[in-house]
């Protein structure tokens, strides 16, 4: 790595942004999120007192490819849940993320669960959320995207879809179909969310019959439809569903969503406490699929070393959320520096050679 692209944690810019991140964490979690979104919506990264360092030289050899999505400058993208309503895609792109996922979006607007519903676990670098798909609704978000005129080169944007809380499971397919049809002109890819623990009955849709029916109904779009699974399924059931999704023709998998917990708060756990389960899901999927279906890894990815380990276990790319809360606006830069250092340490020049190496070296 060329030293000109490294940013010292002791630099003036790093100290300034670290102070700002720490200040936000003095606020209640959802309030801090709202403030962060307000700043990103106004593209405040462009107004910093010092210029951001370029990652251009840093990412040499780190390109990734996601079928149905395209070529990425590097493997780190934004997970769903941070920008639920397409308020700040330009702000997130300025942070250096290589692809974005907006949502979860429901067909009709809904407020989500009562507050408080987002909690930090500072001593574990984790979060618990029970947001409950708070959404502006598909039509309003689609209008926002229409005005945005997003160009998917160089940063592709996907849409994560869910059902409304009051939609019965028997009619849930209509909610997902509505989302696919509404966002077809704007999304590079779709993610079917049947894995959040915060909408009653949602995880029950993660079954072969429902997903095969959805695949049949939208077979013309399957080349850009991914499915996000939860990490709480027993291994055998998980592997059976993964195999069925591959047979049904879905483009790929996201592994994984949050881990359902009741303590210290009820909701979905993300961040470091999720890492082991999410990594196990990758290994289980690889055991069934090999390289037959591309995978985006998510859950507990807080460092470049974490990125390396998920790619080594077969992921084509990763998504982050909680790491942005704890590491701040320079998260992507830090993680790319760490990933480069890990690749150098292990003798890898190209990220493509890292993919699946965990199994080859076993």
Active-site pick, 135, 195, 196, 303: 196
Determine contact, residues 275/299, Cβ cutoff 8 Å. yes
CB atoms within 10 A of CB 14: 17
Residues 356, 358, 361, 362, Cα dihedral to 10°: -120
- The verdict on whether 196 is a catalytic residue reads yes
CA end-to-end distance (rounded Å), the chain: 28
The residues, any chain, with a CB within 8 Å of residue 102's CB and separated by 6 or more, are 80, 83, 84, 85, 86, 89, 141, 157, 158, 159, 160
Give the max Cα distance, the chain: 57
Reduced to 3 states (helix: H, G, I; strand: E, B; else coil), residue 34 is helix
Give the C-alpha separation, 259 to 196, whole Å.
9
Determine contact, residues 285/253, Cβ cutoff 8 Å. yes
φ, ψ at 276 (rounded to 5°): -65, -45
Which residues form the catalytic set?
196
């Amino acid at each position: 790595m060329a030293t000109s692209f490294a940013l010292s944690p002791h630099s003036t810019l790093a100290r300034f942004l670290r102070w700002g991140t720490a200040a936000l964490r003095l606020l209640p979690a959802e309030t801090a999120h709202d403030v962060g979104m307000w700043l990103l919506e106004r593209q405040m990264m462009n107004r910093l007192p010092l210029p951001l360092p370029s990652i251009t030289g840093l990412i040499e050899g780190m390109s990734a490819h996601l079928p149905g999505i395209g070529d990425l400058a590097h493997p780190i993208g934004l997970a769903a849940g941070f920008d639920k309503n397409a308020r700040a895609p330009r702000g997130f792109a300025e942070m250096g993320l290589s692809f974005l996922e907006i949502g979860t979006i429901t067909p009709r607007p809904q407020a989500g669960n009562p507050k408080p519903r987002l909690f930090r676990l500072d001593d574990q670098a984790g979060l618990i959320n029970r947001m409950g798909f708070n959404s502006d609704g598909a039509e309003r978000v689609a209008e926002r995207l229409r005005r945005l005129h997003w160009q998917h080169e160089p940063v592709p944007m996907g849409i994560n879809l869910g059902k409304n809380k009051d939609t019965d499971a028997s009619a849930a397919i209509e909610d997902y179909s509505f989302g696919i049809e509404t966002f077809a002109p704007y999304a590079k890819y779709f993610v079917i969310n049947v894995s959040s623990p915060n909408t009653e009955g949602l995880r029950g849709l993660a079954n072969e019959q429902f997903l095969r029916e959805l695949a049949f109904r939208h077979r013309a779009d399957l080349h850009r439809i991914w499915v996000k699974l939860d990490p709480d399924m027993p291994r055998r059931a998980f592997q059976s569903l993964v195999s069925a999704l591959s047979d049904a023709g879905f483009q790929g998998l996201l592994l994984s969503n949050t881990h359902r917990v009741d303590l210290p708060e009820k909701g979905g756990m993300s961040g470091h406490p999720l890492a082991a389960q999410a990594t196990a899901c990758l290994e289980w999927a690889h055991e069934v699929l090999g390289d037959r279906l591309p995978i985006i890894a998510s859950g507990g990815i807080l460092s470049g070393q974490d990125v390396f380990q998920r790619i080594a276990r077969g992921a084509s790319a990763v998504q982050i959320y909680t790491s942005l809360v704890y590491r701040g606006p320079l998260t992507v830069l830090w993680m790319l520096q760490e990933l480069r250092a890990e690749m150098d340490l292990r003798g890898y020049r190209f990220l493509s050679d890292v993919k699946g190496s965990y199994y080859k070296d076993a």
